[in-house]
Structure 1
Amino acid sequence: MQSTLYRGISTRKDKPRGRQHGLTQQKRQEIKEAFELFDTDGSGTIDAKELNVAMRALGFEMSEEEITRMIAEVDKDGSGAIDFDEFCHMMTAKFGERDTKEELMKAFHIIDQDKNGKISAADIQRIGKELGENFTEKEIQDMIDEADRDRKFSLFNS
């Protein structure tokens, strides 16, 4: 597989905005939260590595070819990575009417290895390593601070 598939960056400027694909604002927000969780490098796109981890976290074991095909189906700009609107389209097609919050919770529980209801710095470091990223302590703390705006030190209230 070419490295551009893993590091493609979207330069698309004509992205559609607002409600799309018949999604409610709440569903779109839930999908956005999933996108941000798996966009580990903060590029605004999800590459093949990130998508593979996302699909595994959501309970789908997929081959490299299936991941490549999924990206190709929605990657309108040919960057080899998918932006939020492309991800939104893919998720609605892939999951249909499945409950997105339920899927997010499944992903959360897979990432939360010690099952304490929180995603720890160690969990983020582990996911980063699975994606080939080496996050600094500051980068990890910035991610935690961004996700935990209410300072409850938990991403989801169980």
Structure 2
Amino acid sequence: MFSSAGTARNQSGPSSSRFTPARPSTGPALGQSGPSNARQNTRHQSQQEQNQQSQQPIELSDEQREEIREAFELFDLDKDKKIDYHELKVAMKALGFDESKQEVLRILRKYGTPAAPSSSRMLITYEAFAQVMAEKISARDPVEEILRAFSLFAGTAVQTNNGEELRIGVDDLRRVARELGENLEEEEIQAMIREFDLDNDNLISKDEFIAICRGE
């Protein structure tokens, strides 16, 4: 009896495997993701999201796009649909970006093409210029944009405790209206000043102009 029992214990038939405890897993099974793979997948997904975000079109107003086009055409002196270093620098300055020489050269190296196969002179097309300026405009501080607009309007010098300051007066609004081809009546111009002149000096200061643009 004991010998037969021992024989039974030493047998390794198919049914004996059911009673063998499962071994602890020492690593991910084939096709499963362990911690390392999970981290790699996370990094890959993050990179994909960043790429998708960078490929999203930049939203500009029609007026901003028109300003970009006009600046390019104004300084494309030979009208070949391309501009060089000097033309690029002044075109960017006209749009409010007084960039350093290093930054202009960086843009040309990244977006430009040689003027000729063996030439070191780089040119940038309108499409590339529009992309560069769209990125810069979208990244610009809104207050800087407002102040740039203020500088186009303000032409009346006023002495203050902090020295001379420029403000927007009736004559300035007349000038801007004339430049824009707007035929405004005198009463309309006076009404614009009265509406936004908070300190009743018949002028619009920088702070008042910022409040106007922000809708405050």
Q: TM-score, normalised by structure 2?
A: 0.34
Higher relative contact order (CA 8 A, sep 6+): 1
Structure in which a larger fraction of residues adopt helix:
2
Q: TM-score, normalised by structure 1?
A: 0.44
